[in-house]
Chain A
Amino acid sequence: MTTPSGHRALSEPQFCGLVDELNADPARRGALADLLREDNPIYDQHGGAVTVRMRGWVLLALSRAGLPNSALLFALEELDNGRDAYLVAVAARALRSYAQPSRAFAPLLMRAISNIHFHDDLFCLECYGGYSESAAGTTAVREVFAALLWLGAHAHAVLPEIDAISANKTEEFSDALAGEAGRLAEAIRRAAATQGHAQGHCCAGPADLGSFRAWAPGSTGNAESIDSILFEDQDRNRVDFGQFFRGQPSVVTFFYTRCNNPRKCSLTVAKLARLQQLLSERDLADRIRTAAITYDPAFDLPDRLRGYGQSRGLRMDAGHKMLRAIDGMSTLCAHFQLGVNFVESLVNRHRVEVYVLNAAGHIVASFERLQWDEREVLAQAVALLRDTR
Chain B
Amino acid sequence: MAIELLINNSADARAKYVSWTPSQCKIRLADATGMTQPVPVKLRNKPGAAGGKAVFYASLAAAPAATLSLTLPLSGTSVSFFVAGKFGSPSVADGDAAIQVRAGTRLLGEFPLMVRIRKNANKLTAGERDRFVAAFARFNDRGAGRFADFRSMHTDAGSPEAHGAPGFLPWHRAYLLDLERELQVIDPSVALPYWRFDQRAPALFSGDFFGHSDATGTVHFSATNPLQFWSTDGVPGIKRRPLFDTATSGGNNLRNEAQTLAFGNQYVLFQEMEGDPHGLAHTSFGGSLSSIGTAAKDPLFFLLHANVDRLWAKWQKRFSRYDPAQASSFDRNAAGGGNRIGHNLGDTMWPWNGITGTPRPPTAPGGGLAGSPCVSAPGPQPAVRDGLDYQGRVAASSRLGFDYDDVPFA
Contact = CB atoms under 8 A, between A and B. Distances in A.
A and B touch in the complex (CB under 8 A): yes
Contacts of B156: 118-119
B165 interface: yes
Given A111-B358, A169-B337, A303 B144 contact: yes
Contact of B363 (A172, A258, A270, A301): A270
B358 A170 contact: no
A312 B364 CA distance: 7
Interface stretch (B145-153, B255-263, B317-325): B145-153
A169 B343 CA distance: 13
Contacts of B337: 169
Interface string A277-305: 00000000000000000000001010110
Interface residues of B, number: 30
Contacts of A313: 367
Given A170-B339, A307-B144, A311-B149, A258 B234 contact: yes
Given A270-B356, A299-B234, A303-B144, A118 B363 contact: no
Interface in A237-272: 257-258, 262-263, 266-267, 270
Interface in A302-318: 303-304, 307-308, 311-313
A311 B234 contact: no
A383 B165 CA distance: 48
Contacts of B149: 311
Contacts of A262: 152, 155, 157, 361-363
A88 to B, nearest CB: 14
A170 B340 contact: yes
Interface in A151-198: 169-172
A114 interface: yes
Given A118-B159, A118-B160, A169-B336, A307 B362 contact: no
Contacts of B338: 169-170
B233 A258 contact: yes
B340 A311 contact: no
Contact of B145 (A111, A119, A169, A307): A307
Contact of B365 (A118, A169, A258, A312): A312
Main SS class of interface, A = loop
Interface string B148-177: 110010011101100001000000000000
B234 A172 contact: no
Interface string A43-78: 000000000000000000000000000000000000
A70 B363 CA distance: 31
Contacts of B141: 303
Among the interface residues A170, A171, A307, which one has the most CB atoms of the partner chain B within 10 A?
A: A170
B279 interface: no
Contact of B362 (A170, A266, A308): A266
Interface string A106-117: 000001001000
Among the interface residues B157, B234, B336, B356, which one has the most CB atoms of the partner chain A within 10 A?
A: B157
Among the interface residues B152, B340, B364, B365, which one has the most CB atoms of the partner chain A within 10 A?
A: B365
A172 B161 CA distance: 12
A15 to B, nearest CB: 28
Interface of A: 111, 114, 118-119, 169-172, 257-258, 262-263, 266-267, 270, 299, 301, 303-304, 307-308, 311-313
The 3 closest A-B pairs by CB, nearest first: A170-B340, A114-B358, A266-B363
Interface of B: 141, 144-146, 148-149, 152, 155-157, 159-160, 165, 233-234, 336-340, 356, 358-359, 361-367
29 contacts: A114-B358, A114-B359, A118-B156, A118-B159, A118-B160, A169-B338, A170-B338, A170-B339, A172-B340, A262-B152, A262-B155, A262-B157, A262-B361, A266-B152, A266-B362, A266-B363, A267-B362, A267-B363, A270-B356, A270-B363, A270-B365, A301-B144, A303-B141, A307-B146, A307-B148, A308-B148, A311-B365, A311-B367, A312-B363
